[in-house]
Amino acid sequence: MSIAETETGPPAWRLILGYVRPHRWALLAGAVLSLVTGGTGLMLPLVARELIDDLSHDRAITGWLVLMSALVITNAAVGALGSYVLRRTAESVVLGARRTLSSYLLRLRITAVDRSEPGDLMARITSDTTLLREVTTDSLVGLGTGGLTLIATVVMMGLVDPVLLGVTLAVILGAGTVLGVIVPHINRASRQAQDAVGVMGASLERILGALRTVKASGAEPREERTLHAAAEESWRQSVRAAKWSAAAGNTAGLAMQIAFITVLAAGGARVATGAIDVGTLVAFLLFVFYLMSPIQQVVGAVTQYQTGAAALTRIQEAMRLPAEPAAAPAPLPSAGAQPASVAFTDVRFRYAEDLPYVHHGVTFSVPAQGMTAFVGPSGAGKTTVFSLVERFYDPESGSVTLDGRDLADWDLPRLRAAIGYVEQDAPVLSGSLRDNLVLGNPEADEDAVARVVKTTRLDGLVARLPDGLDTLVGHRGTRLSGGERQRVAIARALLRRPRLLLLDEATSQLDAVNEAALRDTVADVARTTTVLVVAHRLSTVTMADRIVVMDQGRVRAVGTHRELVAADPLYAELAATQFLATSG
């Protein structure tokens, strides 16, 4: 199931109010300032009428000129202040949305991440949240202040001359009918444009994440076409949305021009018959001219709402992905904490309903303390054991326990605080070497960091680096070798003082000298900690206290190296071929 296939949620206007609610007073202040701006503007036609009337009767107009000047200056000053307050509030709404969404994405369950595109999720937290800025100011406030100003203007026009008001409203009603046809097209085009941006982000993330492979495969032209196709689709949909938005704006503008001409013609006829005087006609024409601003504001609010609604839909789709409950971080185990025991009982698991089972009733138990090695052919389900222990996934049936307690009953932060995990590809994050080492234990002191650096034989690397531990390691640790990245990952896990240490082929990229040193380190750790290791090297397996042999998602044998060589044909074959070959 993709993100777009999640169930529908509440309407967009309710979502907008949810994001705006924490900033409602600032938004209200900006709206009031906008209304004051509109009110001062509405007074200008009335002042102009009085000024013209005094001119026609040869009376002094100095007072009216001063008042008009004051209104113009007040209008500009209050308008600028109101615009600033609204823009600042809009930025605060975007900040709140990004905080909420980023916190939620960090808690996503691995199952949700597996079926999502990281680049698309990035687009939702960047470009989609940015559109909330326009929704807040142009849509929400624009609709409110523009609507109120429009109503006030219409009332004033009715007081000046009801007949000319009827002519004006007839033109506006026709334009409104046309807008009702246009607006749904804006929503669809905006949604498709944002989806295309997500596809482009996903394509870019996919390529940059494996750029060396792309270059080594000579695949730049093909991947370039993929990126360009996604960019062009985004362009097409954005142009389509712009086309309909322009049509909406021009419809409103055309309606006002027609209204101006119609009022001028009808008003001129009324002046000729003596129904109204010239000052009234001028005042009404000024009102028609002033009416353009609130109408365009309302039309802009509607079009921006359609764009924002599409972005909000994408944000809410991400917010409905399965996530782990929010919880405060748990303290790490204290020095000398008791090792953990682990047990699997008839565990069945598959990564998705449309995929085959990886575990077919896996059962084994690991006592507290010591080293247990998992061996078996590729695809036997060894790494999946670690994923289930970390509760990245939950078994479909059966149970996994830690210290005799089902993992489902553990508080997740407390569970993971007890575990140190070194993944198969030993990922290193962008940042400094120190940042990577203390990622799982930011409170680690310098002595602890120095000890673990020496234990994992990283001290030579640190001495060679220009800034020592503060040297930047590059995106995904590209400035480090594969073996160095593995040692960093092991050091990071050891700094957590885990009660249970999971090592997934953690020494596969090390040379013989460093592997032997780290093997001794792991043996020392196993005296006070429970260590589970997926290994393909005979030297690692033979030093384990027990070995779990897995094949086709099942446990076929458990024992020591000597026992299994004699009792299990598969293990004997692996030991004679794969282990020996890879231990070199």
Same domain, yes or no, for 90 and 211?
yes
Q: Is residue 564 part of a domain?
A: no
DSSP3 helix / strand / coil % (the chain, rounded to 5): 65, 10, 25
Whether residue 2 is predicted with pLDDT greater than 60 in this model: the reply is no
CA dist 129 → 18, 124, 300 (Å): 14, 7, 19
More confident residue, 163 or 463: 463
For residue 11, give every residue at least 6 positions away whose Cβ sits within 8 Å of its Cβ, in sequence order, or none: none
Q: Is residue 181 part of a domain?
A: yes
Q: What is the pLDDT of residue 582?
A: 42
Number of domains composing the chain: 2
pLDDT in tens, 187-222: 777 777 777 777 777 777 777 766 766 777 677 788
Same domain, yes or no, for 313 and 462?
no
Whether residue 475 is predicted with pLDDT greater than 80 in this model: the reply is no
User: What is the Cα gyration radius of the chain?
Assistant: 35
Among the candidates 481, 497, 513, a domain finishes at 497
Q: Is residue 250 part of a domain?
A: yes
Q: Averaging pLDDT over each range in 382-391, 469-478, 531-540, 570-579, which range is the top one?
A: 382-391
Q: Is residue 219 part of a domain?
A: yes
Whether residue 331 is predicted with pLDDT greater than 60 in this model: the reply is yes
Q: Of 10-24, 104-118, 530-544, which gets the smallest average pLDDT?
A: 10-24
Q: What is the pLDDT of residue 581?
A: 42
- Nearest alpha-carbon partner for 160 in 275, 19, 314, 309: 275
More confident residue, 72 or 494: 494
Please answer whether residues 431 and 395 qualify as being in contact, where contact means their C-beta atoms are separated by less than 8 angstroms.
no
Q: How far apart are CA 358 and CA 554, in angstroms?
A: 9
pLDDT in tens, 22-63: 888 887 887 788 778 767 776 777 777 777 777 777 777 777
Q: Is residue 438 part of a domain?
A: yes
Q: How far apart are CA 186 and CA 181, in angstroms?
A: 10
Q: What is the pLDDT of residue 394?
A: 93
Same domain, yes or no, for 439 and 297?
no
CA angle centred on 207, ends 204 and 208, rounded to 5°: 85
Domain CATH code at residue 449:
3.40.50.300
Q: Averaging pLDDT over each range in 164-168, 230-234, 359-363, which range is the top one?
A: 359-363
Element spanning 227, H or E: helix 220-273
pLDDT in tens, 91-113: 888 888 888 888 888 888 888 88
For residue 95, give every residue at least 6 positions away whose Cβ sits within 8 Å of its Cβ, in sequence order, or none: none
Mean pLDDT of the chain: 81
Q: What is the pLDDT of residue 584?
A: 36
The domain containing residue 454 runs over which residues?
427-497
Structure tokens, 76? 């500009």
CA angle centred on 108, ends 104 and 113, rounded to 5°: 130
What is the mean predicted confidence (pLDDT) over 84-97?
Answer: 83
For residue 171, give every residue at least 6 positions away whose Cβ sits within 8 Å of its Cβ, in sequence order, or none: 255, 258, 259, 262
Domain CATH code at residue 259:
1.20.1560.10
Same domain, yes or no, for 315 and 431?
no
Q: Which residues of 267-281 are buried (b: 16+ CB within 10 A; e: fewer)?
A: beebbeeeebeebbb
Among the candidates 319, 334, 356, a domain finishes at 319
Beta-strand pair 370-375/546-551: parallel
Q: How far apart are CA 378 and CA 363, in angstroms?
A: 19
Please answer whether residues 373 and 566 qualify as being in contact, where contact means their C-beta atoms are separated by less than 8 angstroms.
no
Q: How far apart are CA 382 and CA 358, in angstroms?
A: 9
For residue 141, give the DSSP letter.
I
- Nearest alpha-carbon partner for 148 in 37, 47, 248, 246: 37
Q: What is the pLDDT of residue 513?
A: 76
Question: Could you tell me the sign of the dihedral formed by the alpha carbons of 188, 192, 194, 195, in that order?
Answer: positive
Please answer whether residues 222 and 203 qualify as being in contact, where contact means their C-beta atoms are separated by less than 8 angstroms.
no
Q: What is the pLDDT of residue 137?
A: 66
pLDDT in tens, 153-177: 788 778 778 888 787 787 777 777 7
- Nearest alpha-carbon partner for 270 in 166, 151, 156: 166
Tokens 């018959």 correspond to what residue?
Answer: 273
Q: What is the pLDDT of residue 76?
A: 80
Element spanning 201, H or E: helix 162-208
pLDDT in tens, 115-139: 877 778 887 888 788 777 777 766 7
Beta-strand pair 419-422/500-504: parallel
Whether residue 571 is predicted with pLDDT greater than 80 in this model: the reply is yes
Same domain, yes or no, for 441 and 298?
no
Structure tokens, 297? 């504001």
CA 486 to chain centroid, in Å, comes to 29
Q: Is residue 231 part of a domain?
A: yes
pLDDT in tens, 390-411: 999 999 999 999 999 999 999 9
Please answer whether residues 497 and 438 qualify as being in contact, where contact means their C-beta atoms are separated by less than 8 angstroms.
no
More confident residue, 340 or 68: 340
Across the beta sheet with 359-366, what order do the strands follow?
359-366, 342-349, 397-402, 405-406
Beta bridge partners of 559: 547
More confident residue, 233 or 348: 348
Quote the percentage of the chain above a pLDDT of 90.
18
Helix-helix angle 278-319:12-20, to 10 degrees = 90
What is the mean predicted confidence (pLDDT) over 442-464?
Answer: 89
- Nearest alpha-carbon partner for 249 in 328, 157, 171, 186: 186
Residue 499 confidence class, pLDDT cut points 50, 70, 90: very high
Among the candidates 466, 497, 528, a domain finishes at 497
Q: How far apart are CA 211 and CA 243, in angstroms?
A: 37
Same domain, yes or no, for 154 and 277?
yes
Please answer whether residues 299 and 208 qualify as being in contact, where contact means their C-beta atoms are separated by less than 8 angstroms.
no
What is the mean predicted confidence (pLDDT) over 354-360?
Answer: 91
CA dist 134 → 195, 295, 307, 393 (Å): 18, 17, 9, 39
CA angle centred on 568, ends 563 and 569, rounded to 5°: 135
Helix-helix angle 142-160:24-56, to 10 degrees = 20
CB atoms within 10 A of CB 513: 9
> What is the torsion angle, in degrees rounded to the nearest 10, for the CA atoms of residue 61, residue 64, residue 66 and residue 71?
-160
Using DSSP's 3-state secondary structure scheme, residue 456 falls into coil
Same domain, yes or no, for 296 and 431?
no
For residue 364, give the DSSP letter.
E
Q: Is residue 579 part of a domain?
A: no
Whether residue 510 is predicted with pLDDT greater than 80 in this model: the reply is no
CB atoms within 10 A of CB 323: 16
CB atoms within 10 A of CB 24: 12
Q: Is residue 580 part of a domain?
A: no
Whether residue 152 is predicted with pLDDT greater than 60 in this model: the reply is yes
